């Protein structure tokens, strides 16, 4: 069962309605798992800084056993999550640290 946690310093009012449901569906598609087995938590309005800057940012943690077999697959998953969240949260791609990616896949 994949567990996904999205932390962001964006205020709740700026997080798109239904993001948790779309992130759940995206996670299932990206990881190739059934959507009914994915657990998603979204935490907006946190005090966060990336690279010493408190610009709008997000951090995604993905935990799942037995999903990734290679580093290449992990990079592909990370890139797909990055694309999804950058678009959904309207974060600029000019500074890669705006969406911090970490995970245990």
Task: Please tell me the predicted confidence (pLDDT) of residue 42.
Answer: 98
72, β-bridge pairs: none
- Summarised one tens digit per residue, pLDDT across range 18-61 is 999 999 999 999 999 999 999 999 999 999 998 888 989 899 99
Query: Domains in the chain and their CATH numbers?
Result: 2-89 (3.30.429.10)
Give the CA distances from residue 74 to residues 13, 15, 24, in Å, rounded to whole numbers and listed in that order: 32, 26, 18
**Nearest-5° Cα angle at 33, 30 to 101:** 40
More confident residue, 95 or 92: 92
**Nearest-5° Cα angle at 73, 72 to 74:** 90
């Amino acid at each position: 069962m994949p567990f996904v946690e999205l932390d962001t310093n964006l205020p709740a009012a700026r997080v798109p309605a239904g993001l948790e449901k779309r992130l759940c569906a995206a996670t299932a598609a990206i990881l190739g798992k059934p959507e009914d087995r994915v657990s998603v938590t979204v935490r907006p309005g946190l005090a966060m800084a990336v690279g010493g800057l408190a610009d709008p940012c997000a951090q995604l943690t993905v935990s799942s056993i037995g999903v990734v077999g290679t580093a290449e697959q992990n990079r592909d998953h990370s890139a797909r999550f990055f694309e999804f969240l950058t678009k959904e949260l309207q974060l600029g791609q000019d500074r890669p640290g705006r969406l911090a990616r970490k995970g245990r896949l």
